[in-house]
Amino acid sequence: MDGNRRWAKRQGRRAEFGHRSGAENVHRLASLCIQRGITYLTLYAFSTENWKRSEREVRSLMRLLVLYFNKYADELRQEGVRLRFMGDRNGLPPLLIQTMDEAEATSADRDRLQLVIAFNYGGRREIVTAVHSAMKEAIVNGDDIASIDETKFASHFYLPDIPDPDLIIRTGGEKRLSNFLLWQAAYAELYFDDTLWPDFGEDELDSAIADFMSRKRRFGSS
C-alpha cells in the first residue's frame, strides 16, 4: 500500500487525505480479489518503522483504521471477507485493539477471502518474537532447542495458519521488501508497479496476475 503520501502531495493535499483515499481502495481490491478467486490478500498498512513519522500522521493512521472498519466491516462480512490482523499490538490505542478484536470475531466464519491487515508489523520483529517463543516452549517442555525445525519455528509467527504468499506486489515504484514477510517471502514472486496505491485498480491487478502466471516457479529446483 505504498504511495499514499505522494498521491496526496501531487494533489496539493496533506498526507492524511492520501491515507484516507488509500483506505477506500482496500475494499475495491478485496472485491476484485474475490471476483478472481483469490482467497488470501495481505496488505501492509503500518510498519514498525512508521512510528518515526510525525505524531500527527501516526495518530491519523490509528484513527483511520478504526473509522474504516466501523464503516466497512459489515459490508466486507456480507461479501464473505474474513478480517485478520498481523503485527504487534503492544502500544496500540485500546480503541484500535478493540476494533481489531471485534472485526476478527464477527467475521471469523467468512471464507471467500481472508483479508489480512499487517499493522505495526515488521518482518524482523516477527522473526525475533518467534525465536523467543519457540525457545521458551522448548525449555518449558524439556525439549532440546536443536529440535526446533522450520515447521515448529514458523508455528510461532503472528498468523501461522496463513500460507506463504505466491505473489508480492509493491506499488509506488520502490523495489524492495521494506521488512515485509521476510521469512514467508522466500519463494514468492515479486512484482513492482509504479502506480501509487490509491490509483491501483483492476487493470493494474490484472497486469500483475498476468505477469505472475507467465513465470515458471522452480522453488529451488532446476
Tell me which residues are annotated as active site.
Answer: 2, 50
Q: In the numeric block, which cell numbers belong to residue 45?
A: 498498512
Amino acid making up residue 201: G
Edge-first strand order for the sheet with 81-86 is 40-47, 113-121, 81-86
Contact 26, 43 (CB under 8 A): yes
| HEC profile of 38-75 | CCEEEEEEEEHHHHHCCHHHHHHHHHHHHHHHHHHHHH
Contact 158, 177 (CB under 8 A): no
Residue carrying C-alpha cell 490509491: 198
Residue carrying C-alpha cell 509493491: 170
CA neighbor of 47 nearest in space, from 2, 93, 111, 107: 2
